Structure formats: structure tokens, C-alpha cells
Amino acid sequence: MPDSSAVRVALWAPFAQKADAVVAGERRPMTRASNLDAGAPAPNGGHPDASGLPDPDETWVIDLPAGTDYLLSIDDGEPRPDPRSRWQPGGVHQASRTFDVAAHAWADGQWPGLDALGRVFYEMHVGTFTDEGTLDAAIERLPHLVELGVEVVELMPVAAFPGERGWGYDGVALYAVQQSYGGPAALQRFVDAAHGLGLGVCLDVVYNHFGPAGNYAPVFGPYFTERHHTPWGAGINLDDRDNGGVRRFIVDNALQWLRDFHIDALRLDAVHALADDSGRHILAELSDEVHAWAKASGRTATLIAESDLNNPAMITPTVSGGLGMDGQWDDDVHHALHSYLTGETFGYYVDFGAPETLKKAFEHVFVHDGGYSTFREQNWGAPVADNVDRSRFVVFTQNHDQVGNRALGDRPDVRLDAGTVAGGAALLLLGPFTPLLFQGQEWGTRTPFQYFTHHDDELGELVRIGRTKEFATHGWEQIYGPGMQVPNPQSAETFLASKLDWTELGSPAHRAMLDWHRRLIALRGQLIGPRQPVAADYGDGWFRLVHGQVTVIVAPTDAPAELRDARGRVAASFGDANVADGRVHLGPHAVVVLTG
């Protein structure tokens, strides 16, 4: 019987003849999983047994005391970090440390769980959300989100990445929690605290690639294939020879966050880059296993895909031939709303900006739903049926991509009148979709969110050059003028400039924007229900959205606007709004919300 204080380390190495754990320079032989006593339970923190792995003959195991630093080696090769390590206290290039997931005394036993879709999301980057940049520091700010009316906190990726600062999409130890954020125990504390305040937690996970430095998984098995190529290099091996352990690696990772860290929802990054020509797509496999686990455990687990495909098959159940995601991000709504409010129609915004395009986005979900996409230079997407619940689509006016991938990472509040920003917030929060706010958006922060990394000097210089070349082709000079300088992602100043400035809340203008968001979210909770009818129209200088018993009218330009067929009681307004006898007069950059 294994020691209950030990942690089981499991290594998939299909071609190895032997495997060792190296502890303090001593090689300790690992055992093939097929030779385990079938009746012996796994210690805390280990893979529950060998049955979930593709072939016990390809998997090696050893039990080590919790808190042990170790490396793994196959066939007497150089010891490397564990691909399934949950803790990399010295960084991704150093020894792994065993972590006992059962050591945390959870206080969320009464947490009922929640279906995340339809609720107000709040995207957070741990490293810039507070001055300290840790999960424990973020806990102290959670009451602010509760007062705002947020229901689900979405964490940008926390999987361990090179260096101490980054967005998280360069993760290489996908089971570990970034040490500069506080490590795995801090994530458990964060989720527990969020649940105690009634907040759900969504975690952003990345399965379409590994980061460019510190990925030692291919030392042990065929994690990549030349059959497919992605913007990051060779594709993840989902359909080539000996792919079973790779697919298991992804599914087990999703289950880990739900089971061992009590995460409520997962946002899967850029799933269109998961090239899989096998008979069963990895997303369908992941969906079936996650939902089976949720049913067996009595928990609710929500899977949300980021997909560029505009294909309703993404959220079609697997039993109907779909990929089984519960929801997906919808960039088309963002592009349509952003371009309408800002007038930006270059780059990937080229097909957006017109009010009729915004009307289509609100009424039909995708703008590109089978027709021609100019930016992609081909027909794109497929229509969403009218009976599909619109809450299955997560929308936003800001997120890490749409702010951080601007050349200067600037917020809309820097360039737009406050009333125009307020109008976008009203359309977002009172529309039919699942709304997401990006940290600081609620008070109209002017803090940029720029792209930052912490690679070694050689790789960092390549990233800087690549970033500069990429932006040179997107037409940003139209906004920033000639001679635009893209911030150096390797500079610590770029990272520090992206930290939220909470002192902005001392400004009356920022407090007014915060109060506006609180009012909108409260109205959403009072008046917005599931599957309510949606219609939109527009006129000279105005756009109107009718969602159930709520009407939002925005006038985002420098000119006033007037409508003669609008009725209802004023529930909220920002700027000059006059409503009487079915006539609405809006001053420049004004918005009004009507009910009834």
C-alpha cells in the first residue's frame, strides 16, 4: 500500500526501455504502470490509476513524498522537468516539485456550482491586475468585482511559462501554475475565496501549441507532428502515429483544473489551430469526458472555445455530430461594435463599421456566416440557427487580444468620448449574448495592456523583431501616425505600464463610468432573461437594440440624434437624453436605456 503522504508521478514515454526519477542527484527507477498492483490506489496528487492512459506499458510511475524536487530521465538520458509537473518553483527549466492537491482544506463544500453562460464575465491577467501581481493579491480585490455585479472571473492562462512576466500563452508546463503568481496552492486559495464570495472561476487553457522555450515534453514522447503546421510551428500530434498519450495529456489536463482546483469553466484558446483529422476530434473527446466527469461528480463544468471558424458545429452536441463545446467567443460582434463606435475599418476590421453590419451581428451572431471575408480572401463561416441560445456566445468590447494586439495596447477610452464608451457598454451588457469585461474597463481605465514577455535575450530579440514586422502590415499608422514605435515586449517597463492603476477610481469621471457599469449590470439581472427576442435598427447618427423589454439607443457621434418612434420609461442614461411622447432626443455621444 503506497504512503498516503506521497504523490504519484506518471510519465508517458512510449519508446523508453527504462525511466528514472532523479532526486538530489540519485536515480530512482520508475515502474511500468502495467506492473502496478491493480488494487493499490494512487497517492495524493497522482494520476488516479493507469486505466486512463493509452497503454500502461507506455507509462512509468513512481511515488515520491510531497514537496520532493525531482527530474525525469529515460534510457539514461539527461534529466528533464516532468511534462505533467504541477509545480515548477524554480521556473520551467528547473526541477519539478511534487504537489499534494489534497492538502488544501477546501471551504467551498456548499458551493452549488454554476452554468457560466449567460452570466457577466470579467477577464483578469493575474500579473497586472494588482501591483503585487499574485493570486493572493487578486483575492483582496474580489469584493470590488462582487460590488460591480460580476458573476464569473476568467483568469488568463496560469500554466507555467518562461520568465516571470508574460500573457501566459507561452506556457510549457501545462499542468503547473506559474510560480510568480504564487504556484498551485495559491490557485486553490483563489478559487476557494472566489466561491466564498459567490463568484465562479473560468480558466483560460492553451492546447494548440507549447511556448518556444522550456518545452521538454518531446524528450519523452511524440508530442508534435509534421503532418500539420500552425503559426507556432509543427502541429500538436493529435492524429499521427502514437498520438494516444498526447490526447490523454490534453484531456487529463482539463480534468485536473476542474477536479483538483475546483475551476467552474474552461476557455480553450484558439481551437481552430487544433488540427485533427482522426475519426474523433480531440474537442469532441474532451467534451464527452468533461461532461461525463461533471455528471458523475455532481458538478457543473462549462467549456468555452475561442474559434475563428464561425462554425456552429463548435457548439453542436457530440451526439449530433458536433464538437460539443458549451459556448464560444464571438469576435464578429466585437469587430462590428468596435468599428461602428470608432470608425476603424482597416486590417481585420475591413468588412465592419457600417450600422447594418452591427445589426446583423446582434440579430444573427456571425457577420461572416458563409459570405465573402475580405481579410481572409475567401468565403467564411456558416449561419447560426434562430433557435440557438445566444447566451452560448461570449462577446466583449475589450479583451486581452483586442486591446493587447493593438500596436500600442491602448484602451478605447483613450480615443473615444466617454459617452460613446458608455453606449458600447450598454449594448454589450444588455444584449442577448454572454458579456465579458476586461480588467479596468468598468471604470474606463486608460492603463494600456501591452504585449510583454520575459525570454532570454536571444529569443526575446526575435520576438521583438517579429512583433514589429507583424504590426507593420496591419495599417496601424492610420491611427497612430507615421513613425509608430511598438513597445518592446521584453522591456520591464512595458509590463509595468500595463499594470492597472487603481488610483484612477479617485477621479469623478472614472467613478461615473464605474457607476454606469454597475447600473447596467443591475438592469441586466432585473430585466434580461433567456431567449428573449432581439431586433436592431438604425438611422441618422443612432443605433437601437431592442432585447425583450429593454431598448438601448446610442448616438456615438459628434452630432445629436432624434427618434420619433421610441417608447418606454428611462431606466438609465449617460449624456444628454430627453424622452417624451415617443420621441427621443440624444445629444452627441449619449445613450439611453428604456424599459417597458
Instruction: Determine whether 458 is an active site residue.
Output: no
User: Which triple of cell numbers denotes residue 6?
Assistant: 506521497
Q: Which residue is it, cell 516539485? A: 97
Report whether 587 contacts 575 (CB < 8 A): yes
Radius of gyration of the chain from its Cα atoms, rounded to whole angstroms: 25
Q: Distance between CA atoms of 364 and 247, rounded to whole angstroms?
A: 34
Instruction: Determine whether 540 is an active site residue.
Output: no
User: Which triple of cell numbers denotes residue 296?
Assistant: 458523475
Asked whether the CA dihedral 170, 142, 98, 47 is positive or negative, the reply is negative
Q: Distance between CA atoms of 513 and 73, rounded to whole angstroms?
A: 56
| 152-155 vs 200-205, strand pairing mode | parallel
- Find the angle CA(182)-CA(187)-CA(190) to the nearest 5 degrees: 110
Q: Distance between CA atoms of 78 and 75, rounded to whole angstroms?
A: 9
Q: Which of 250, 414, 281, 398 is nearest to 333 (CA)?
A: 398
Q: Distance between CA atoms of 483 and 123, rounded to whole angstroms?
A: 32
Helix 418-429 × helix 508-527 angle, to 10°: 20
Report whether 387 contacts 570 (CB < 8 A): no
Integer angstrom CA distances of residue 205 from 172, 208, 305, 424, 440: 11, 9, 10, 28, 22
- Find the angle CA(185)-CA(293)-CA(433) to the nearest 5 degrees: 85
Q: Which residue is it, cell 511524440? A: 222
Report whether 453 contacts 166 (CB < 8 A): yes
Q: Distance between CA atoms of 352 and 262, rounded to whole angstroms?
A: 39
Q: Which residue is it, cell 460590488? A: 147
Q: Which is catalytic among the residues 204, 239, 276, 306?
A: 306
Q: Which is catalytic among the residues 151, 239, 269, 369?
A: 269
User: Which triple of cell numbers denotes residue 356?
Assistant: 447594418
* Catalytic residue set: 269, 306
